[in-house]
Amino acid sequence: MGEVKVDDDAILKSFLAEVGEVERDNEVVRILSCFKLNPFEHLNLSFDSSTDDVKRQYRKISLMVHPDKCKHPQAQEAFGALAKAQQLLLNDQERDYILTQVHSAKEELKMKRKKQLKKDTASKIKSLVDEGKHEHIYEQSEEFQKELKLKVREILTDQEWRRRKMAMRISEEEGRLKKDEAEQKEIWKKKREHEEQWEGTREKRVSSWRDFQKSGKKAKKGETRPPKLKTEDPNKSYVQRPVKKG
């Protein structure tokens, strides 16, 4: 017998036909209650999902919560959050960043578990852990996946807080530099205006100096100045003042 080809479109169409209004509304609520920094949560995918898994899951859920299909008042918001989640996970840089945090979370949980098992007296379990057999089984357990999800939230939150603090500091520094630049520009503007004003009154100052040179220096208020010498008139007789002898 030949292999039966699975028609994804037909399966999806059948699935959507069975989805009722309640299921659509519940999906909107689920998406909006997800941790905003973890796109895997929005798409309800595990951390080891492939890009093909992302595309398939996005198509399935987006059709459920599409504003044209779903009557929930926040359907548009949920649809937008879903689209952003897919965009992040299809971006290699963003995906690698998130998976790096997932790896860090796993390592922290492993170290924590090893410390706990060291206190355990069951040597058989310890030896299995050392061999990596029991550890692999534990990582696939529901308990570990829940812990991993919470630890990833914690790490992503911490990283986002650090990023925002850094962005705030950069913004403050840029603001300070802009303020200094504006103040410096104002100083240069005033200096230029003063120079232009000084140059604009140059002719007036030169003219005043010329007038001053022509008219002579005027006596300051309260200053006594010697009388001007008069030229003797030959037609007038002058009486010479007696000179006191010492």
The amino acid at 87: Q
Report the pLDDT averaged over residues 80-105.
95
The amino acid at 52: D
Report the pLDDT averaged over residues 196-225.
67
Return the higher-pLDDT residue of 127 and 7.
Answer: 7
Look at residue 79 and give its three-state secondary structure: helix
User: What is the DSSP code string of 132-182?
Assistant: THHHHHHHTSHHHHHHHHHHHHHHHHHHHHHHHHHHHHHHHHHHHHHHHHH
Structural tokens at position 45: 């995918």
Highest mean pLDDT among 5-9, 131-135, 188-192: 188-192
Structural tokens at position 36: 């905003």
Q: Answer yes or no: is pLDDT of 12 > 80.
A: no
Closest to 40 (Cα-Cα) out of 52, 49, 28: 49
Phi–psi pair at 70, nearest 5 degrees: -110, 135
Q: Answer yes or no: is pLDDT of 192 > 60.
A: yes
Structural tokens at position 180: 């200094």
Report the pLDDT averaged over residues 70-83.
94
pTM for the whole structure: 0.58
* Mean pLDDT over each residue of the chain, to the nearest integer: 79
Q: How far apart are CA 69 and CA 45, in angstroms?
A: 23
Which residues 6+ apart lie within 8 Å of 53 measured at CB? 45
Q: How far apart are CA 76 and CA 82, in angstroms?
A: 10
Q: Quick one: CATH architecture of 14-90? A: Orthogonal Bundle (1.10)
Report the pLDDT averaged over residues 162-188.
80
Structural tokens at position 237: 């007789």
User: pLDDT, tens digit, for every residue of 37-56?
Assistant: 999 999 999 999 999 999 99
Predicted confidence at residue 204, as pLDDT, reads 74
All structural domains of the chain with their residue ranges: 14-90
Report the pLDDT averaged over residues 126-132.
54
Q: With bands split at pLDDT 50, 70 and 90, how would you rate the model's confidence at 174? A: confident
Q: Answer yes or no: is pLDDT of 122 > 80.
A: no
